[in-house]
Chains A and B, each alone.
Chain A
Amino acid sequence: MQRRKFLSLVGLGAVAMSAAPVALSATDWRADKPDVWTAKNVDDAIKAMYGSKAIAEGGVTVTTPDVAANGGAVPVNVKSDLDAKTVAIFQDANPESAVIVFDVNEYGIVNYDVKMKLKSVGEPITVTCVVETKDGKLHSGKRTLDVALGGCEG
């Protein structure tokens, strides 16, 4: 694991290396599971990330506005009381599905806000959030919203 991370960082050059100590202790899911980030739909992305395990609905709360006026910055909140190891957010509007994967450590509380870009596709968009617990179980929460003006067109 460490070696792989080191190799992935070598390419980043001297500037990155000098700032790397913190990043080195972290899991870089982009390097570890590149398929997650290129998957074109939510199911494929979840499979790439977590395998074909059963996902229990519930235990995860996803909050967004009902209608996002500006697709360029759609606020999303994810909350869960589960003993989480990772938390991942996916959506079904953009060309690729994965938005962000959080690693949760002993200090972490699963209550995250991020702003994401969503394309306007003329139909309701579903944001899916998957929580992987420390004992390897998967839980998901969903939220459907409309986007008035898309944020991926530039």
Chain B
Amino acid sequence: MGAIKVKPKLKNGIVKVKALASHEMTTYDIAKKRTGNRDDANFITHISASVNGTVVWEASTSQFLAKNPIFKFQFKGIGKKGDKVEMNWVDRKGNTGKGKGKIK
């Protein structure tokens, strides 16, 4: 089970989030080099963020994100100080990771 560090900050009505997901992000090429099997590749395929159960940001991702990828994004119109931004990812092998951070 992987983790995501989530750091949201509210300023001028906009919540800015920095998130760091712990994941190897193995590409097909690297997998083939390491184990000889292209199918050993594993990377985050979908990641999303929500506030109080409402999705505010989401992305479908590929093998070409950096190892332990960092995401920065912003949203407005939802979330106040003290609310939690929750994030979830799913990877190619079906593992999941999650994390949350309080809006400061």
Q: Which of A22-78 touch B at CB < 8 Å?
A: 22-23, 25-30, 37, 72-74
Contacting pair A116 B65 (CB below 8 A): yes
* Interface size in chain B (residues, C-beta < 8 A): 43
Q: A100 interface residue, CB < 8 Å from B?
A: yes
Q: With the chains together, A118 CA to B62 CA distance in Å?
A: 12
Q: A109 interface residue, CB < 8 Å from B?
A: yes
Q: With the chains together, A73 CA to B67 CA distance in Å?
A: 8
Q: A94-B64, A100-B62, A116-B64 are known contacts. Are A107 and B76 too (CB-CB below 8 A)?
A: yes
Interface segment, one of A9-17, A128-136, A137-145: A9-17
Q: B34 interface residue, CB < 8 Å from A?
A: yes
Q: Which of A106-137 touch B at CB < 8 Å?
A: 106-109, 111-118
Q: With the chains together, A26 CA to B61 CA distance in Å?
A: 13
Contacting pair A105 B56 (CB below 8 A): yes
Q: With the chains together, A105 CA to B51 CA distance in Å?
A: 13
Residues of A within 8 A of B (CB): 11-13, 15-16, 19, 22-23, 25-30, 37, 72-74, 91, 94-96, 98-103, 105-109, 111-118, 151-154
Residues of B within 8 A of A (CB): 14, 25, 27-30, 33-34, 45-46, 48, 50, 54-67, 69-78, 86, 88, 90, 94-96, 98
Q: Residues of A contacting B45 with CB < 8 Å? A: 28, 30
Q: A13-B94, A30-B46 are known contacts. Are A37 and B62 too (CB-CB below 8 A)?
A: yes
Contacting pair A72 B60 (CB below 8 A): no
Q: From B63, B72, B88, give the contact of A19 (CB < 8 A).
A: B88
Q: Residues of B contacting A154 with CB < 8 Å? A: 29-30, 33-34
Q: A28-B46, A29-B60, A107-B56 are known contacts. Are A151 and B76 too (CB-CB below 8 A)?
A: no
Q: A27-B58, A100-B59, A113-B72 are known contacts. Are A16 and B65 too (CB-CB below 8 A)?
A: no
Contacting pair A106 B77 (CB below 8 A): yes
Name the prevailing secondary structure of the B interface residues. strand
Chain A residue nearest to B67 (CB atoms) is A72
Q: Residues of A contacting B66 with CB < 8 Å? A: 72-74, 115-117, 151
Contacting pair A91 B64 (CB below 8 A): yes
Chain B's nearest CB lies how many Å from the CB of A54? 24
Contacting pair A22 B48 (CB below 8 A): yes
Q: Residues of B contacting A28 with CB < 8 Å? A: 45-46, 60
Q: Residues of A contacting B57 with CB < 8 Å? A: 102, 105, 107-108
